[in-house]
């Protein structure tokens, strides 16, 4: 599948495929209205990953506001998982953030979603906190993760694993 992949801007025509992936991926899926709202917001970026025959095999939705990019939603069709497609979408997000001179990328992820946490960690994200009972459908905590792209704050860069953190 690798040689036929491309990332495009999501359109209304993609929503059927995106919603199918969303429903297969999450216990509390976004409804169509939420995706439609994201398509309308000037600060929201919605992209699809296309595979063979231009079929949607994944998507990513994120906000770019001031010097921050915030990941809202990312998923890959269960039929094509374990092919590093999620990593391709996360790398796309990180490259977008760097190109647009964002200082950091943030996200929240369910504490129980160990596969997603491992993916984000492999892409350079670090856990920086917890939002207790963040998810309304089951009161699960969210792990807050951050990818520091060169913060100029007084705190400086976040410590990485190599520094013993």
Residue 19 domain flag: yes
Catalytic residue from among 38, 120, 121, 162:
120
Report if residue 65 sits inside a domain.
yes
Counted domains in the chain? 1
* Residue 120 a catalytic site member: yes
Question: Which residue out of 108, 121, 134, 140 is catalytically annotated?
Answer: 108
Predicted confidence (pLDDT) at residue 156 exceeds the cutoff of 80:
no
Domain of residue 29 covers 2-159
Q: Is 134 a catalytic residue?
A: no
- CATH code of the domain covering residue 44: 3.40.630.30
In this prediction, residue 131 carries a pLDDT of 97
- Residue 88 is predicted with a pLDDT of 97
Answer yes or no: is 45 within a domain.
yes
**Structure token pair of residue 2:** 């690798």
Task: Work out the mean pLDDT of the chain and round it to a whole number.
Answer: 91
165 belongs to a structural domain: no
Does the pLDDT value for residue 157 go beyond 80?
no
Q: What is the pTM of this model?
A: 0.89
- How far, CA to CA in Å, does 136 sit from each of 23, 37, 107? 17, 20, 17
In a domain, 142, yes or no: yes
């Amino acid at each position: 599948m690798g040689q036929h992949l491309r990332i495009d801007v999501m359109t209304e025509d993609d929503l059927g495929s995106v919603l199918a992936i969303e429903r297969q991926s999450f216990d509390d899926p976004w409804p169509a209205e939420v995706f439609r709202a994201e398509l309308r917001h000037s600060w929201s970026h919605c992209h699809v990953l296309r595979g063979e025959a231009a079929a949607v095999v994944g998507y990513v939705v994120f906000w770019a506001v001031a010097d921050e990019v915030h990941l809202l939603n990312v998923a890959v069709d269960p039929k094509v998982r374990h092919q590093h497609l999620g990593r391709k979408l996360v790398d796309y997000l990180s490259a977008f953030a760097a190109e647009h001179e964002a200082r950091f990328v943030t996200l929240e992820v369910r504490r129980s979603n160990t596969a997603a946490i491992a993916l984000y960690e492999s892409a350079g994200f670090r856990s920086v906190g917890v939002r207790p009972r963040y998810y309304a459908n089951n009161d699960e905590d969210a792990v807050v993760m951050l990818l520091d792209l060169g913060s100029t704050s007084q705190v400086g860069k976040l410590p990485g694993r190599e520094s013993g953190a």
